[in-house]
Structure 1
Amino acid sequence: MEHGDNHITVIDDEGNEQLCEILFTFESDEFNKSYVLYYPVGAEEDENGEIQIYASSFTPGDEEGQLQPIETEEEWDMIEEVLDAFLAEEEEEEEK
Structure 2
Amino acid sequence: MDDKRLFIQDEQGNEVEYEIILTFTSTETNINYVVYKELGETDEVLAARYEETDDMGGTLLELETDEEYDMIQEVIDSFFTEDEE
TM-score normalised to the size of structure 1?
0.77
Equivalent position to 2:50, from 39, 58, 64 = 58
Structure 2 matches for 1:22-33, cutoff 5 A?
22-33=20-31
The within-5 A match list for 1:34-73 is 34-42=32-40, 44-45=41-42, 51-60=43-52, 62-63=53-54, 64-73=57-66
Structure with higher Rg: it is 1
| 1:90 matched residue in structure 2 | 83
Q: Residue 66 of structure 1 aligns to a residue in which SS?
A: strand
After TM superposition, give the deviation of residue 16 of structure 1 in Å: 3.1
Return the alpha-carbon distance in structure 2 between the equivalents of residues 90 and 79 of structure 1.
16
Structure 1 unmatched runs, 5+: 46-50
1:81 alignment partner AA: E
Q: Secondary structure at the match of 1:10?
A: strand
> RMSD over aligned Cα, in angstroms?
1.4
| Count of aligned pairs | 83
Identical-pair percentage = 41
TM-score (normalizing by structure 2): 0.86
- Local SS of the residue matching 2:59: coil
Deviating runs (4+, > 4 A) in structure 1? none
- Tell me how far apart the structure 2 counterparts of residues 28 and 5 of structure 1 sit (CA, whole Å): 20
